[in-house]
Amino acid sequence: MTIQFNDETFRDDYSFRNSEWAIKRFPFPFHEDSYMYSVNMEQHRGGPAGSVYEKRFDVDEHYLAEMKDRALVLDQDPLRCQSLPHMTLAGWDLLELIMECKSEDYPDLFELHRNGNTWRWVNKPMGIDDTFTFLDETTLPYGPMEYITRQAQGDFAVLDQRDDMLWMDAGMITTQADWSLDFDIGMNFFEWHAPVPLAHEKGIFIRALKFLLNIQQGAPARRLNWTMTVNPLLDTSPENYHKWGIQKTELSPENIGHKQHLRVELQTFYRLPRSNALVFPIRCYLCNFQDMMTMPKWGRRLHRVIRDLPDELATYKGFIDNKPMMLDYLSQFDDGQPTSPGIWPDQETEPPLQK
């Protein structure tokens, strides 16, 4: 199918909207009626047609608007994109990976023509047609990682692997859930995860690291993570907390349905061949409560998950103050009916709301 790209914003007037198509394919992150941290990783080898799992790097209706938003963030704060000197080769790896995947998965939108080290890259939606020399930085307007991630949705952390440890030595981070690349750059896996509650005690990070160190070329993996965001903001960074933190107090029973968004990150993991580094694309999907409630299963389940979530998690994710208001709203969509297992909406089989 051809994608209709939305003309929309993630700031000021917040004209971001999800089409019916986007709502249906929203990666609802809860496979059962409760949630706790776990080592929830699986292989990333496609998924149901049309789902966000189908392609290696999902492109959707928000593509152009997200890339505009990224450019704005970078204008104001160039430190959102950093790459330590030894990570340039990993940057080329990432450029190659994204160009290959996008041109193979979306041949009507992207083209890659290779003639030895002379490469021509065509990005039709963004109107880009560039010819450059692979592995020669002087032939691109930015470093290889910055060049390609200005054309790819989601954040990208690029991790060097040394001494059985991962190090955050490069990244393009403009759509993050309240963490900072400038703060985390050069840190290791345990250091940058230090603020997360409960998971350390459960040994989750030790097992997750072992898994990541062993991710191999040709065998990428994925997991989902989630949080809550008031207004469809991509840039919820600590650097700009003074701008967006206050918006959480503007939530009311009248506006919660369209203002409160579930923010889901599709996180994938790829081994990069030339550098042996690991790339961690973090793709953010936003869906407001009222759109999500059009799926009866999601309505029932979201209420139960939020109701039973440990306070430590609600605090860490920054919505503990608004939790009672959320529950008031969500309880209208929970009729106590059982829900089917798995994350899919199961529209055909799930009964409509019985209230």
What are the two backbone dihedrals, phi and then psi, of residue 36, each rounded to the nearest 5 degrees? -145, 155
Q: Are strands 128-133 and 81-83 parallel, antiparallel or unpaired?
A: unpaired
Residue 273 interacting entry, from another protein, ligand HEM, none, C-beta within 5 to 8 Å by type: another protein
The interface mask with ligand HEM, positions 44-83, x = CB under 6 A, is: ----------------------------------------
Q: Does 273 bind another protein (CB under 8 A)?
A: yes
Q: What is the CA radius of gyration of the chain?
A: 20
Q: Does 217 bind another protein (CB under 8 A)?
A: yes
Alpha carbon distance 33, 35 (integer Å): 7
What are the two backbone dihedrals, phi and then psi, of residue 19, each rounded to the nearest 5 degrees? -75, 170
Alpha carbon distance 351, 296 (integer Å): 7
Q: Does 292 bind another protein (CB under 8 A)?
A: no
Query: To which residue do tokens 């940058």 refer?
Result: 192
- Are the C-beta atoms of residues 80 and 176 closer than 8 Å to each other? no
**Number of residues counted as binding another protein (CB under 8 A):** 22
Catalytic, 223? Answer: yes
Contacts of 78 (CB under 8 A, 6+ apart): none
The interface mask with another protein, positions 102-141, x = CB under 8 A, is: ---------------------------------x------
Question: Which pair of tokens denotes residue 71?
Answer: 């450019």
Closer residue to ligand HEM, CB minimum distance, 15 or 315: 315
Q: Does 275 bind another protein (CB under 8 A)?
A: yes
Distances (CA, A) of 253 to 256, 260, 304: 5, 10, 19
Q: Where on the chain is the footprint of another protein (CB under 8 A)?
A: 43, 84-87, 89, 135, 160-163, 210, 213-214, 216-219, 273-276
Question: Which residues carry out catalysis?
Answer: 223
Q: Where on the chain is the footprint of ligand HEM (CB under 6 A)?
A: 37, 39, 157, 159, 166, 168, 179, 184, 192-193, 195-196, 199, 204, 208, 212, 225, 227, 280, 316-317
